[in-house]
Amino acid sequence: MPAPFALSVALRQMTHNRGQTLLTIGVVATSVTLILFISSLIVGLQIRIVSTVTDSIPHVRILPQERTPEVPWDGAAAVDATVRVGVVPKLEQRERKIEGWKPWLERIEALEISGLTVLLPSVEGAVVVSRERKRISARLVGAAPEDYNRIVDLQQNLVTGRFFGLNGGEAVIGLKLATDLGVRLGERVSLLSAEGNTGMATIAGIFDTGFGAVDGSTVVVPLRDGQSLFQLGNAITGFGLKLSDVFAAEQVAGDLRRQLPFKIENWMEDNERALGGIRAQSQSSRMIIAFTVISSGLAIAALMVISVSSKYRELGILKAMGASNGQVLSIFAWQGTLLSLIGALLGTLASLALLFWLSRLKTVSVTTGRATDLFPIAITVGNFIIGNGLAVATGLLASIYPASRAAKVDPIAVIRGQ
């Protein structure tokens, strides 16, 4: 009996017991739909969380080192048993800045950092923005508008005005900050730095990124205006780096610490809680998928055991005609594989339709009027390959036990009705 014979017998069994066939296909299709929906939703949620954290900040920051005092015992040898008593003084921190930053910019560019998309020299500091009697604390960023836009896309999120081509004495601010101050396009605001320096800026643009921390407390001015307000001369307060792979930030920061005499920070160190939430979501997704696979496998195995029990007489006749144990096993292996393939195909189509429908649902913010996806769906080829692979493998493995029972059938006992 060649392999096509086992396949033809498997097909006959599937068409003969249509109710059982449809039920098995339904179990597999439901499992695949659930696996693909959960994995696409979890990946989408993770992308949204990471995007919320990283889209409005540099992935890696290069900052001036803090002043630390040198004390005699720091250089003492480990074998030196001398007891030293003293107090480590806390030095008054000078204004933290990077002088002569252009050669450092060239040196950092020469490092050929993997995945680097933006290297931004900037000035940042705390200011108080005031308009008439209203005063609000904010973060002022001084940078070239076109370069800063590659860190935070303000140009595409302008509500009114302009950002590119920002002139001296002009600024762009977030919509929430503008609303709180009661300021409109073309009006002027006062800026007061922590050092007591003051300045004026005309509102050239108002943006709404959807990130509350950005829209409610950010003022962006040209680099030279920021240097002037903080009295830095030609110095800057640091460099911001944007990477194509946000999760490479920790590795890049570690490499830079070994090559540059500056303080290096990265977003992953500052957002451990968010990363912990992402890891918890991944673990939850794997557990749900595992339980789904196990449940569908048990259901398929149970249905095929019933099929074997109802086919004892036919199996006995086949074995009496010369079918070997391996050939009987192949019949049920074919049946389990075919049912899983059909179920996986139907489940994939159903999940695509469901995900497409869910991706079109929007929710509108009451405060900003901004429409966002109700379900952050991320459809990836990898998830579909894994989901369908698990379904087919589960169907094949689930058919092994009932197939082994079928192969052990004693044809003489079955024909006698024992």
CB count within 10 Å of CB 3 equals: 10
Q: Is the dihedral of CA 317, 318, 319, 320 positive or negative?
A: positive
Residue 410 lies in a domain: yes
Question: Are 201 and 125 within one domain?
Answer: yes
DSSP for residue 91? P
Of the pLDDT bands very low, low, confident and very high (cuts 50, 70, 90), residue 17 is confident
Question: Are 305 and 370 within one domain?
Answer: yes
User: Strand (E) positions, 346-399?
Assistant: 362-364, 371-373
Question: Are 220 and 296 within one domain?
Answer: no
Of 406, 417, 373, the C-alpha closest to 48 is 373
d(CA 26, CA 339) in angstroms, rounded, equals 9
Residue 280 lies in a domain: yes
Residue 290 lies in a domain: yes
Could you give the 3-state DSSP secondary structure of residue 275?
A: helix
Query: Do 28 and 296 meet the contact criterion of CB atoms below 8 Å apart?
Result: yes
Give the range of the structural domain holding residue 136, as residue numbers without chain letter. Answer: 97-236
pLDDT, tens digit (0-9, with 9 covering 90-100), for 158-188: 999 999 999 999 999 999 999 999 999 999 9
Question: Are 328 and 379 within one domain?
Answer: yes
pLDDT, tens digit (0-9, with 9 covering 90-100), for 266-288: 998 878 777 787 778 778 777 88
Residue 33 lies in a domain: yes
Number of domains in the chain: 2
pLDDT, tens digit (0-9, with 9 covering 90-100), for 43-69: 888 888 888 778 888 999 999 987 555
Of 123, 131, 94, the C-alpha closest to 225 is 123
pLDDT, tens digit (0-9, with 9 covering 90-100), for 62-101: 999 875 555 555 555 445 555 555 555 554 444 578 999 9
Question: Are 217 and 331 within one domain?
Answer: no
Residue 59 lies in a domain: no
Residue 370's pLDDT is what?
A: 66
